[in-house]
Amino acid sequence: MTTPTSRAENAKLHVLDRFRRVTQTFPKTDEILGYKSQGKKVFGWLCTYAPEEIIHAAGALPIRIVGYSHETDLEDGTAYFYVNNCSFSRSCLQLGLRGEYEFLDGVVGGSTCDGARRLFDLWRNYIGTPFHHVLTVPRKYIERAHNLYHDQVRQFHRHLEEFLDIQITDEALRHSIEVYNESRRLLKALYDLRKLSAPPITGAETMEVLNASFRMPKELFNDYLRELMDGLSTSGNSYEGRARLMITGSHLTNPEFIKSIEDTGGLVVTDELCTSTRYWSDPVVLDGDQTPLQAISKRYLNNFPCARMFPSDERFERILNLARDFRVEGVISQIIKYCVPYAHDRPLLTEKLQAQGIPTLSLDVEHGTSGSGQIQTRVQAFLEMLESRQR
Q: Is 347 in the site for other proteins (CB under 8 A)?
A: yes
Among 1, 33, 79, 381, binds other proteins (CB under 8 A): 79
Among 19, 49, 80, 280, binds other proteins (CB under 8 A): 80
Q: Which residue lies nearer to other proteins by CB, 35 or 88?
A: 88
Helices 15-25 and 218-235 cross at an angle (nearest 10°) of 140
Q: Is 341 in the site for other proteins (CB under 8 A)?
A: yes
Shortest reach from residue 380's CB to other proteins, in Å: 22
Rg (CA), the chain: 20
Q: Which residue lies nearer to other proteins by CB, 118 or 318?
A: 118
- Subset of residues 107 to 136 that bind other proteins, contact rule: CB under 8 A: 111, 113-115, 117-118, 120-122, 124-125, 134, 136
For the residues of 294-353, what is the DSSP string, one character each?
HHHHHHHHHSS--TTSSSTHHHHHHHHHHHHHTT--EEEEEEETT-HHHHHHHHHHHHHH
Q: Is 274 in the site for other proteins (CB under 8 A)?
A: no
Number of residues that this document lists for the chain: 391
Alpha-carbon distance of 223 to 194, in angstroms, equals 20
Shortest reach from residue 275's CB to other proteins, in Å: 19
Shortest reach from residue 144's CB to other proteins, in Å: 6
Options 265-273, 286-294, 322-330, 341-349: segment touching other proteins (CB under 8 A): 341-349
> Which residue blocks in the chain are alpha helix, DSSP H?
15-25, 30-37, 52-57, 75-81, 87-97, 114-126, 143-164, 170-193, 203-213, 218-235, 255-263, 277-280, 292-302, 313-325, 340-355, 374-390
How many C-beta atoms surround the C-beta of residue 389 within 10 A? 12
- Subset of residues 30 to 49 that bind other proteins, contact rule: CB under 8 A: none
Q: Is 340 in the site for other proteins (CB under 8 A)?
A: yes
Residue pair 119/89 in contact by the 8 Å Cβ criterion = yes
Q: Is 352 in the site for other proteins (CB under 8 A)?
A: no
Q: Is 2 in the site for other proteins (CB under 8 A)?
A: no
The β-bridge relationship of strands 3-4 and 239-240 is antiparallel
Among 188, 318, 346, 378, binds other proteins (CB under 8 A): 346
3-state secondary structure of 359: coil
Strand order in the sheet with 42-45: 61-64, 42-45, 106-110, 131-135
Beta bridge partners of 151: none
Q: Which residue lies nearer to other proteins by CB, 215 or 308?
A: 308
Q: Is 310 in the site for other proteins (CB under 8 A)?
A: yes
Among 9, 39, 144, 288, binds other proteins (CB under 8 A): 144
Alpha-carbon distance of 206 to 203, in angstroms, equals 5
Residues contributing to the site for other proteins (CB under 8 A) = 79-86, 89, 111, 113-115, 117-118, 120-122, 124-125, 134, 136-140, 144-145, 147-148, 151, 307-308, 310-312, 335, 337-341, 343-348, 350, 362, 364
